[in-house]
Amino acid sequence: MAATMKNVLIYEGCNFFRQRLILATLSGKSVKIKKIRDKEDDPGIKDFEASFIRLIDKITNGSTIEVNETGTAVYYQPGMLTGGSIQHDCNIQRAIGYYLEALLCLAAFTKKPISATLRGITSDQLDPSVDLIKFTTLPVLKRFLGTDEGLQIKVLKRGAAPDGGGEILFTCPCRQKLRPVQFTDPGKIKRIRGVAWAVRVSPAVCNRVVESARSILNKFLPDIYIYTDHHKGSQSGRSPGFGLVLVAETINGTFLGAEVAANPRGSKNGPTVPEDLGIQAANVLMEEVYRGGSVDSSSQGLAVLLMALGDKDVSKIRTGPLSPYTVQFLRHLRDFLQVMFKLDVLQATEEGGGEEGSRLGGDKVELTCVGAGFRNLSKPIL
């Protein structure tokens, strides 16, 4: 629960640190987060959270950010979102995806179109990879923007955990307001695409990963194409690694993604076998398809945020079971924007009736809200 004192929202603990700073920036409300790991041996904010604060500072103007001596309390008074061209070295405790997800939430409301060069780890086992965000989250943002002109993520260099060395370019246009979206019919799967990537290992590893993944997926669908992306030399980062990103596309333009990355160098779990990784990625994709929805589980948070910020009209989407991250996002949206969602849980049999409905996957959630009518004051009304 958030306490309020003199127009400052007060939270405790390190959980959902990004959500609180993102929503404070968009709503213009100051926020204070205290008791950050205050009872641990290493109290205060971590290096990756300090790096995230510096990123927020780069895309805003006039922000006030105060961190106490022990790092256990952070006060943030947001400034104006300026955007423009920025460069940021992401801390290698977390992947680039950790920082990129926040930029996706803010990029549409900047004064100047954002062009961000981020350096660090492009894929790890904790955060969404750059490829997964590109294939599944960008289409969600495109629906609310109404166009994909100027919206792209380009992988310039790949960098695996633990040492990184990757580099990406993210560009996004800015808008005066967002469109309301009603997207409740995901449709049936029509094809599967993917990328098997490898750095500082044999190129044959990619082929082994692809063959094992296809051995599972070909039982369900004929239209499968998985690209191999093997980087060499200066574009391959500082650590060896490989992984697989798979995306199932439906007839209505829904993208459901899954990914698996190999254990990093020096992992206590030992090296990863390429064939095992391919099979695991195919199974994870099957689970994501079973959960279903109009947006996949990694994009739920962005979707509910953009719905809440949209025009003063009804927006509705259908998702699979809500992730804990999304549930907390809904609570924070109530605190910062006073937007409440209506949630309807649909049983599997309600969708298609009887056995046909059960084949469509598990229970679904329909989220409905009326947007807050958020406006980008830096953009003229068109």
Question: What's 273's domain CATH number?
Answer: 3.30.360.20
Quick one: angle between helices 96-106 and 47-59, nearest 10?
30
pTM greater than the 0.85 cutoff: yes
198 belongs to a structural domain: yes
At 350 the pLDDT is 47
The answer to whether 371 and 344 are in contact (CB under 8 A) is no
**313-366 confidence digits (pLDDT tens):** 999 999 999 999 999 999 999 999 999 999 999 887 544 444 334 345 678 999
Total structural domains within the chain: 2
CA of 229: how far to CAs of 9, 155, 198, 209, 295, in Å? Answer: 45, 11, 6, 12, 26
Considering 256, 291, 326, which residue would you say is the last residue of a domain? Answer: 291
At 155 the pLDDT is 96
At 286 the pLDDT is 96
- Domain ranges, residue 205: 189-291
270 belongs to a structural domain: yes
Quick one: angle between helices 300-309 and 96-106, nearest 10?
20
For strands 241-250 and 314-319, give the pairing.
unpaired
At 5 the pLDDT is 61
In angstroms, what is the C-alpha Rg of the chain? 21
376 belongs to a structural domain: no
CA distance 112 to 81: 9
Lowest model confidence (mean pLDDT) among 4-13, 40-49, 232-241: 4-13
